[in-house]
Structure 1
Amino acid sequence: MALMQTLVAPEWVDYNGHMNDAEYARVFSLAVEALMDHIGLDAAGREHHGYTIYTLETHLCYRREAHEGQPLDIEFHLIDSDAKRLHVLFEMRDAEGQVLATSEQMLMGIDVASGRPTPFPADIAGAVGELPPATADIIESAGRRIGIRR
């Protein structure tokens, strides 16, 4: 599912002439906010429900360089979910559709007042239930671990 678009900002480019690694994380963080907006947890929704989403874990993979001014398309894939968690994968793509980076994340629904995990409010759970599920190839690519192959 296409989730958001942005451009590589000049201040995101580092001494190597391409987007700094931390800025990839920034774009994926903005993608989480776009996802929250999509399911009804924009500023008004967060205020109304006293509810938000925290990122518990993220695994970022860099595939290709992104350069100043380059358009970025962020695609969203729902790998799994339960009453209060979302296991997702975001893909950052260039204008030709090539994957520049991926970010696999575990997101948790949080009651703002208690600061504790809580099931999604009913209307948010309904919106989550309408998210398109990831395809088999996306699911198969998830759960990678870091290591030196020997």
Structure 2
Amino acid sequence: MLDRMDFEPVFFAPFVSSGRKVERAWMDYNGHLKMAYYNLVFDQAVEEALTLLGLGAQYAHERGSSFFTAEAHIRYLREITPECPVRVTLRLMDYDDKRIHLYQMLHHAAEGWVSATCEQVALHVNLKTRHVTPFPDDVLERIALMRATHAALPAPDGLGRKVCMGARC
């Protein structure tokens, strides 16, 4: 994984994370991937994408700001088994001066089908004050470039879906 930004980023639509295998230790007693590990895989993909944007660990260290998740919604669509190769695709759906809206899909890396999705809003936070803070102009420029690249794709299935049951939905 990248740990610093010393080049002009090239954005693909969508961003595709590094591959990895589902570990047997991540499975629960039902033979399902534990919820925490879906979050881990999605979180690592976000970290890769943020590093490409120049907003990874080096940014946090040098500029004193980072990202905190404000909201996330995961949909579990198909079981992943141990040793499956997986990748995450990530799209920057929207942004403003302090937030980014991401949509991710966890894919079986060899067969392509989708196991889960994660829609997330992350806040740009000053690490000293722990308050939400605007992006610097150079960061907004890179975010705008990534968003423009991802905007060419059709809306993903399930975007904006709310959590509910029955007649109250």
TM-score, normalised on structure 1?
0.91
Distance 2:150 2:158 in 1: 14
Q: Distance in 1 between matches of 2:158 and 2:34?
A: 24
| CA–CA distance in structure 1, aligned partners of residues 55 and 96 of structure 2 | 17
| Contact in 2 for aligned 1:49/1:121 (Cα 8 Å) | no
- In the TM superposition, residue 42 of structure 1 has moved relative to its aligned partner by 2.1
- The answer to whether 1:126 aligns with 2:141 is yes
- 8 Å CA contact retained: 2:17, 2:88: yes
Which of 53, 78, 92 is equivalent to 2:67?
53
Provide TM-score, normalisation by structure 2. 0.81
Partner of 1:144: 161
Displacement over 4 Å in runs of 4+ = none
* Letter aligned with residue 48 of structure 1: E
- Mapping of 1:78-97 within 5 angstroms? 78-94=92-108, 95-97=110-112
List aligned pairs for 1:1-150, cutoff 5 A: 1=14, 2-94=16-108, 95-131=110-146, 132-134=149-151, 135-138=153-156, 141-150=158-167
Q: How many Å separate the matches in 2 of 1:109 and 1:85? A: 6
Deviations 1:66-94 (CA, angstroms, capped at 9, x unpaired): 11111111001111111111111010000
Please name the residue that 2:4 is paired with.
none
Unaligned runs of 5+ in 1: none
- Work out whether residues 54 and 109 of structure 1, in 8 Å CA contact, stay in contact via their aligned partners in 2: yes
Cα deviations by residue, 1:4-47 (Å, 9 ceiling, x for unpaired): 32210121111122311221112112122112211112222211
Identity of aligned residues (%): 32
User: What does the per-residue CA deviation read over 1:79-116, in whole Å, with 9 as the maximum and x for residues that have no partner?
Assistant: 11111111110100002111100000001101112111
Task: From the two aligned structures, give the one with the greater strand fraction.
Answer: 1
Amino acid at match of 1:47: H
Residues 114-137 of structure 1: per-residue CA shift (max 9 Å, x gap): 111111123322221121324333
* Aligned residue-pair number: 149
